Amino acid sequence: MDTIPQVARLHAFVKGRVQGVGFRFFTMQAAWTHEVSGWVRNRRNGEVEVIAEGQRAALDALLLDLQHGPSSASVSDVTVEWQPYQGEFTSFDPRETV
């Protein structure tokens, strides 16, 4: 019996020294590697915000990457909200700062 792959949506806020250190580019590379879609952007409060959709296992792997970040970053906390998959995205891209 085949199992239906579980898909989900990850909404994360990454705190710490995560701006000006290549974190968005790191996140885009990780998302492409894990084959998830969505976006990443800096927030004016110093956080990086990520929304990603795809297979739950791939999102779990992306979350592990977000918790570590690139070697130039220092992640202090990642706030995560799991949401229902919406099928909204076809790629993973940067967005403007908000």
Tens-place pLDDT, residues 32-47? 999 999 999 999 999 9
Q: What are phi and psi of 87, to 5 degrees?
A: 65, 30
Place of tokens 């239906």: 4
Name the catalytic one among 9, 17, 24, 45.
24
Q: What are phi and psi of 14, to 5 degrees?
A: -105, 125
Confidence of residue 17 (pLDDT cuts 50, 70, 90): very high
Structure-model confidence comparison of residues 1 and 77, the more confident one = 77
Mean predicted lDDT score pLDDT of the chain: 95
Q: Cβ contacts of residue 1 below 8 Å, gap of 6+?
A: none
3-state helix vs strand vs coil in the chain, percent to 5: 25, 40, 35
CATH class name, domain 7-86: alpha beta
Task: Based on the residue annotation, tell me whether 42 is a catalytic residue of this protein.
Answer: yes
Task: Based on the residue annotation, tell me whether 41 is a catalytic residue of this protein.
Answer: no
